[in-house]
Amino acid sequence: MASTTTTPLPRRLPPNVTPEAFQTFISRAQSIVGVENVTVVDPQNPLDDGTYMDNCKAHDMHAVYERDYFVASAVVAPRGVPEVQAIVKLANEFVVPVWPFSAGRNVGYGGTAPRVPGSVGIELGKNMNKILEVNVEGAYALVEPGVTYFSLYDHLVKTGLREHLWIDVPDLGGGSIIGNAVERGVGYTPYGGMGALPEPGNPPGLAAHEQKPNKAWQLFNYGFGPYNDGIFTQSNLGIVVKMGIWLMPNPGGYQAYMITFPRDDDLSAIVDKIRPLRLQMVLQNVPTLRHILLDAAVHNPKSHYTDKNTPLTEADMDEIAAKLNLGRWNFYGAVYGPEPIRAALFEAIKAAFLTIPGSKFYLPEDRKEERGVLHMRSDTLQGIPSLDELKWVDWIPNGGHLFFSPIAKISGADAALQYEVTKRRCREAGFDFIGTFLVGMRDMHHIVCLVFDREDPEQRLRVRWLIRTMVKDCAAQGWGEYRTHLALMDQIANTYNFNDNALMKLNETIKNALDPNGIMAPGKNGVWPATYDKEQWVL
Amino acid sequence: MASTTTTPLPRRLPPNVTPEAFQTFISRAQSIVGVENVTVVDPQNPLDDGTYMDNCKAHDMHAVYERDYFVASAVVAPRGVPEVQAIVKLANEFVVPVWPFSAGRNVGYGGTAPRVPGSVGIELGKNMNKILEVNVEGAYALVEPGVTYFSLYDHLVKTGLREHLWIDVPDLGGGSIIGNAVERGVGYTPYGGMGALPEPGNPPGLAAHEQKPNKAWQLFNYGFGPYNDGIFTQSNLGIVVKMGIWLMPNPGGYQAYMITFPRDDDLSAIVDKIRPLRLQMVLQNVPTLRHILLDAAVHNPKSHYTDKNTPLTEADMDEIAAKLNLGRWNFYGAVYGPEPIRAALFEAIKAAFLTIPGSKFYLPEDRKEERGVLHMRSDTLQGIPSLDELKWVDWIPNGGHLFFSPIAKISGADAALQYEVTKRRCREAGFDFIGTFLVGMRDMHHIVCLVFDREDPEQRLRVRWLIRTMVKDCAAQGWGEYRTHLALMDQIANTYNFNDNALMKLNETIKNALDPNGIMAPGKNGVWPATYDKEQWVL
Ligand SMILES: Cc1cc2nc3c(=O)[nH]c(=O)nc-3n(C[C@H](O)[C@H](O)[C@H](O)COP(=O)(O)OP(=O)(O)OC[C@H]3O[C@@H](n4cnc5c(N)ncnc54)[C@H](O)[C@@H]3O)c2cc1C
Ligand SMILES: Cc1cc2nc3c(=O)[nH]c(=O)nc-3n(C[C@H](O)[C@H](O)[C@H](O)COP(=O)(O)OP(=O)(O)OC[C@H]3O[C@@H](n4cnc5c(N)ncnc54)[C@H](O)[C@@H]3O)c2cc1C
């Protein structure tokens, strides 16, 4: 029987959508954004992970379930705000769930994959990737979703503005400024602690943050009345089509440094030194305290150091540290400002940390390696984006990874306990502990990097057991996670259950009011619209 | 005819509530919070304004309409969270609008008065006034609504903690920490620019920010999923019952200073000097650039300087400036940190400002007055609360005041134009221009202080014309206000009308979802619930 359309059927249809309705939806979408901007996930084609820079768009590059569980039915790439609005209208008409993303490099948290299999991905970054404004006087930029740290940085360099304005960047430069901000990601300059300031330009059909009459809306983003920006972060209430981001004026001087600490159990003492210095802003930026294996993994795969498949022992790690001339913990920071200010800060920093026996202080030029972690951090901490950190994902063959990111207060006792709990579980699951503490103004994001063989179903099973167990362990200790992978969203949301789940009730009430058909990223961070039977969907 | 109750009927009943229903409501409220915590606004008693420290609770102390327009029917003071919840439940049952306030010293923006006449005031500060925690390591406090800047400061002094922890305070110390934070008020230390971080503890029946499992919720307030705190600021979605506030660690050194500038038209040059210094955080705190008449008014009433009833001329102001040994504009700042840091900052500050011809730099000890504005600011900028600034309200007899608070970018041209527009309108209305620019990270809150004779109906008329005209003028220039008096809420909300009033549509949708009976502060900042006929209520 001849079909009126050549649209293939996807691997997975959106829930409760018939093949015919799907095909009509796709042809309507094609007429909105152009045929070349609609890709149906054809079951004939294998689900190829691609690479970080050439990333897959319809599934999780580092799948922890089967690759075709969190998979889109199609990906649509609008060319401007009216097309975004038209696609959202169409999705409402057909009750097709959509999953917006910007650059789609949310690696370790699900990449571009949707929470609900068969959702239609909305790829904002492909065609909407303009830097709309760089304002030197006000030190801000206005960007579209496709603008990455790399592209904004390159623009500043090319236009000669980088001399005046620095960007706050996360570890990898390929992410989008909007994607990272709406997820409340972390950067490492003095502007990292403040977080990016998300400015949902105009979530279609829902809101408008751009402010008339306030033409200074990128300088004073609160406006008047309820301040709504926050509800468009880590949420499923709208699509961010542009965003203002504060840039950091060139501080007039910069110097990165590293302090190494020889013993695994120095952790507690180090963190108790960090707290007062960070509170006083003697530590001006978001410094990191990295476990030896994170640095080791950036340098080489595990096979370079050992033949073992089992978790490394304390002795192994001491050996690696000695070989790399690093500590068991390594602290990376920077000082910003003119020379006298840097000198005063350095004095206080050294006075505090170097009392820890065996600690050593390094500037980049003190290190002999060609490009060691300190050299990389020296770039990152001044807002120069890179891909260096990607290397630790290759710690084991077919390296995939999953982030476990609990929050702790800046306290030696808390850090030591959180390290002990997570390290023990990693070993139990047969994995090496690899991790780092990112120090915010008053908290630490403890980022545990779970590296697993993504071609090995048994390892995927183990890594899932591991993260689910750690979520429970940490909740029992009073620690919650700040962000997570698709697979963990329900479990983690459920730990934020104060006052009979009042927070989730609030989130659901707002969700149902703003998105009555429940089409916008259903299930994101555990928030399910009333149109879904939550019990059935929870993983 | 014998009544079954002795409850008097109020001056104004809540809309659509019968006398009988009101009386039942009151007796039910009495049984919840105790008879002593319910006050009906008896028409037999005059509406006495009280004083700043002994403030009236049911009407606007500085009324711009008739005193009995913005007036409550009763005021209820719960003794704890369960009573707050019970009162909100009762209000829902009787569909009685409520108007929550904390200390009730929101002077210049409406005080304790409700937007809808006849609303029931919920006075949170009377009985819920405990400092629940001061955490020295984490540098934060957890407070109830009745905790004022004075009471928290006194507590820190008494417990010896003030040596470690400073508070960020606004000009007057009698306000509540929660009331000021939820209104997004301004303080002047380095923590002023960051704004207070509101933490709606548990808006009854609506939400819960307190986070389980995140026991570090006061250190990392974002939690997981949509970040909702902002929608409980300048809004009518709930009641804040406790809040965490970040305190500032003693910076290890402090020095306030003043720079005076002789000419009215120095404004533009001064502001262009401020911008780069503030962006670089050489200006670490929220400094203020004050018009001569604000300082003059803090020292003496107008009658001290002149017999005129009309606005002062340029010559008059030059004369006053000379007499007080001040500039036409006076800049108040402070440097924070150990001596070498302060010295480096002072060098940069002087190098920038003292190029303006005739400018002069002063430390507090350089000033001969017993307690001049610099001495006052020296307290405020280190978080010592006071009442000094209250004096400018007495510029004219029976001084009442109304704040007009547009936002501008930190730009000489913008500042000069905004000053020109507002000054001209003040003169047209027959008032002196009194104002100050508060410099945030990238914006300026221009606070125009409209002082009028609150016993003179004709002056009240004129001041209303004045502020309504300035709202229009400023909107036409692309400036919006950050906060306002009850009487102006609709007009100002209406200027934030980008994209066919998308912002208001969002606000209304959320309002109706969270408060379907429309009982919580209806009309606050222009947000009316669907249960009100907005057109009928707009002023
Ligand atoms: C080695 C390594 C190091 C890393 N280091 C860091 C780090 O230092 N800091 C850090 O924060 N992260 C880090 N990550 C995680 C991640 O790579 C980055 O956060 C990355 O920037 C996010 O990808 P993206 O910007 O392309 O987001 P996207 O994938 O485009 O978006 C992420 C999610 O945000 C939402 N979203 C995105 N755009 C929109 C929109 N326009 N409207 C509505 N919702 C939207 C969607 O839910 C989407 O799934 C690291 C990852 C790896 C592999
Ligand atoms: C001379 C002078 C100088 C001033 N200087 C400043 C200044 O420097 N900076 C500044 O910001 N302001 C200033 N003000 C304005 C005002 O006095 C302060 O902001 C004051 O702190 C606010 O009063 P309050 O804290 O008692 O708030 P309240 O009157 O208690 O509350 C204000 C409003 O916030 C809301 N609200 C309060 N508590 C709650 C709650 N628990 N739940 C829900 N909603 C709530 C209500 O809508 C309420 O009407 C000044 C005023 C004067 C007269």
pLDDT tens profile B112-123: 999 999 999 999
- Put simply, whether B65 touches A (Cβ < 8 Å) is no
Task: Please give the interface size between A and B, counted as residue pairs whose CB atoms are below 8 Å apart.
Answer: 269
CATH number of the CATH domain containing B74? 3.30.43.10
Tell me if residue B229 falls in helix, strand or coil: helix
> If you average pLDDT over residues B36-58, what whole number do you get?
97
Which of B517, B515, B521 is CA-nearest to residue B537? Answer: B521
Q: Are residues A161 and A229 in the same domain?
A: yes
Contact check, Cβ <8 Å, B479/A513: no
Give the mean pLDDT of chain B. Answer: 93
- Find the helix or strand (DSSP H, E) in which A362 lies: strand A360-362
- Asked if the structure places residue B12 within a domain, the reply is no
Catalytic residue among B109, B140, B188, B191: B109
Radius of gyration of chain A (CA): 23
Same domain? For A85 and A138 the reply is: no
**A113 and A235 both lie in a single domain:** no
What would the mean pLDDT of A509-517 be, rounded to a whole number?
Answer: 96
Question: For B406-422, how does the pLDDT look when each residue is reduced to its tens digit (9 = 90+)?
Answer: 999 999 999 999 999 99
Confidence of residue B216 (pLDDT cuts 50, 70, 90): confident
Q: Find chain B residues with C-beta within 8 A of A215's C-beta.
A: 478-479
Rounded CA-CA distance A335/B275 in Å is: 23
The answer to whether residue B509 neighbours chain A at the CB level (below 8 Å) is yes
Average pLDDT over residues A418-444: 97
Under an 8 A CB cutoff, do A138 and B442 touch? Answer: yes
Domain boundary among A220, A250, A280: A250
Interface contact B249, partner A, CB < 8 A: yes
pLDDT in tens, A53-91: 999 999 999 999 999 999 999 999 999 999 999 999 999
Q: Which chain B residues are Cβ-neighbours of A507 within 8 angstroms? A: 225-226, 228
Q: Does a structural domain hold residue B14?
A: no
* Beta carbons of B172 and B185 less than 8 angstroms apart: no
- Chain B residue with minimal CA distance to A348? B338
B399 belongs to a structural domain: yes
Residues B68 and B82 in one domain: yes
Does A196 contact B at CB distance below 8 Å? no
What is the count of structural domains for chain B?
A: 4
**B168 ligand 2 Cβ < 6 A:** no
- Please indicate, yes or no, whether residues A145 and A105 belong to a single structural domain of this protein: no
The shortest C-alpha distance from B344 to chain A (Å) reads 7
* Residues near B473 by beta carbon (within 8 Å), at least 6 away in sequence: B421, B422, B425
| ipTM (interface predicted TM) | 0.95
H-assigned helices in B381-411: none
- Please tell me whether residues B294 and B312 are part of one structural domain: yes
Q: Among A191, A224, A250, where does a domain finish?
A: A250
Final residue of a structural domain among A80, A103, A123: A123
Instruction: Specify if B196 maps to a domain.
Output: yes
Distance A52 CA to ligand 1 centre (A): 12
Q: How far is the CA of A175 from the centre of ligand 1 (A)?
A: 6
Residue A211 and residue B498: Cβ atoms within 8 Å? yes
The pLDDT tens digits of the residues spanning B114-150 come to 999 999 999 999 999 999 999 999 999 999 999 999 9
CA–centroid distance, residue B326 to ligand 1 (Å): 53
Query: At B85, which amino acid appears?
Result: Q
User: Which residue puts its alpha carbon closest to atom 27 of ligand 1?
Assistant: A179
Q: Which of B106, B401, B219 is nearest to A411 (CA)?
A: B219
**Does some domain include residue A7?**
no
pLDDT of residue B213: 76
Please tell me whether residues B46 and B107 are part of one structural domain: yes
In the predicted structure, residue A251 carries a pLDDT above the cut 70? yes
Provide, as residue numbers in chain B, all residues whose Cβ is less than 8 Å from the Cβ of A140.
Answer: 442
Scanning every residue of chain B, which has its alpha carbon at the shortest distance from the alpha carbon of A480? B214
Asked if pLDDT for residue A34 goes beyond 90, the answer is yes
CB contact under 8 A, A227 and B233: yes
CATH code: domain of residue B156: 3.30.465.10
Q: Is B236 in the pocket of ligand 2 (CB under 6 A)?
A: no
HEC assignment per residue over B447-516: EEEEEEECCCHHHHHHHHHHHHHHHHHHHHHCCCECCCCHHHHHHHHHHCCHHHHHHHHHHHHHHHHHCC
**A336 within some domain:** yes
- B371-395: average pLDDT: 97
The confidence score (pLDDT) of residue B165 equals: 96
Report the alpha-carbon distance of residue A273 to residue A7 in Å, rounded.
61
For residue B12, what are its two tokens?
A: 């104004």
Residue from the list A224, A441, A493 with its beta carbon closest to the beta carbon of B480: A224
B512 at interface of A, judged by CB pairs closer than 8 A: yes
Residues B537 and B521 sit within 8 Å (Cβ to Cβ): no
User: What is the domain extent for residue B146?
Assistant: 130-250
List chain B residues with CB under 8 Å of A493.
224-225
Query: Is residue B496 annotated as part of the catalytic site, yes or no?
Result: no
Residue B478 near chain A (CB below 8 Å): yes
Q: How far apart are alpha carbons B118 and B91 in whole angstroms?
A: 13
Confidence label for B211 from pLDDT (cuts 50, 70 and 90):
low
Q: Is the pLDDT of residue A200 over 50?
A: no
Q: How far is CA A128 from CA A144, A177, A243, A385, B353, in A?
A: 6, 13, 12, 21, 43
Together in a domain, B353 and B283? yes
* Residues A104, A182 share a domain: no
What end-to-end distance do the CA atoms of chain A give, in Å?
A: 40
CA dist list (Å): B213 to A285, A491, A501: 27, 12, 11
More confident: B352 or A202: B352
Q: Which two tokens stand for residue A478?
A: 């009073």
Q: Which pLDDT score, from 0 to 100, does residue A192 have?
A: 67
Residue A332, pLDDT above cutoff 90: yes
What is the DSSP secondary structure assignment for residue A69, as one 8-state letter? T
- In the numeric block, the tokens 């630790």 are attached to A392
Return the HEC string of B239-291.
Answer: CCCCEEEECEECCCCEEEEEEEECCHHHHHHHHHHHHHHHHCCCCCCCCEEEE
Give the model confidence (pLDDT) of B165-176 as tens digits: 999 999 999 999
CATH of the domain at B532: 1.10.45.10
Give the pLDDT score at B92. Answer: 96
User: Measured between alpha carbons, how far is B120 from B519 in angstroms, rounded to an integer?
Assistant: 10
Asked if B343 and B468 sit in the same domain, the reply is: yes
Judge whether B336 counts as a catalytic residue: no
Determine contact, residues A128/A144, Cβ cutoff 8 Å: yes
Residues B279 and B407 in one domain: yes
Rounded to the nearest 5°, which phi and psi values hold at A150? -60, -50
Residue B4 covered by a domain:
no
A442 and A340 in a common domain: yes
Task: Point out the least confidently predicted range of A204-208, A333-337, B77-81.
Answer: A204-208
In chain A, residues 5-34 whose CB comes closer than 8 Å to chain B: none
Q: Which residue has the least CA distance to atom 41 on ligand 2?
A: B240
Interface of B with A in 126-185 (CB under 8 A): 137-140, 184
Assess whether A109 carries a catalytic annotation.
yes
Query: What CATH number does the domain containing B352 carry?
Result: 3.40.462.10
pLDDT of residue B430: 98
* A320–chain B nearest CA distance, Å: 34
Catalytic residue among A109, A140, A257, A362: A109
Q: Does some domain include residue B2? A: no
Residue A470 pLDDT exceeds 80: yes
Tens of pLDDT, residue by residue over B465-517, are: 999 999 999 999 999 999 999 999 999 999 999 888 889 999 999 999 999 99
Ligand 1 contacts (CB < 6 A) are A 100-108, 112, 124, 145, 170-172, 175-176, 178-180, 182-183, 185-186, 239-240, 389-390, 393, 524
Cα distances (angstroms) measured from residue B296 to each of A263, B13, B395, B429: 63, 43, 9, 21
**Ligand 2 centroid distance, CA of B304 (Å):** 30
pLDDT class of B200 with cuts at 50, 70, 90 = very low
What is the C-alpha separation between A28 and A10, in angstroms, rounded? 16
DSSP states of B351-383? HHHTTSTT-EEE-GGG--SSS-HHHHHHHHTTT
Q: What is the DSSP letter of B343?
A: H
Ligand 2 within 6 A of CB of B405:
no
Q: How far is CA B419 from the centre of its chain?
A: 21
User: Residue A257 is inside which H or E element, if any?
Assistant: strand A254-261
Taking the C-alpha atoms of residue B109 and residue B447, their distance in angstroms, rounded to an integer, is 12
